[in-house]
Amino acid sequence: MKTFNGHRSWNAWNVSLWLSNDEIYYHLFVALIKEKGIQKATNSIYHYLKGGKTPDGASYNRLSVKLALEGLEVE
């Protein structure tokens, strides 16, 4: 399978970039994952972003949000 910068697609990479590139959001998402678990955190964030796109035009879909959250370092 062809990858893009270590991600499964350009869309997955772009969503990950936008969700994890801001320090405040990074810490918020890590705390949400610790408190609720990856699935509930994914559902919460996806519900908020559903139908939207990154400034670069990548779609916020459930899989790309989940993959972005899985890529965060959670202690």
- CA distance to 4, 29, 36, per residue, from 45 (Å): 23, 9, 12
- Residue 1's pLDDT is 62
Q: What is the mean pLDDT, run by run of 10 residues, along the chain of 75 residues?
A: 85 95 93 96 96 96 96 82
Predicted TM-score of the model (pTM): 0.89
Please indicate, yes or no, if residue 1 is contained in any of the structural domains: no
Query: Is the torsion defined by CA of 8, 59, 27, 20 positive or negative?
Result: positive
Residue range of the domain that includes 44: 22-70
In a domain, 31, yes or no: yes
How many domains does the chain contain in total? 1
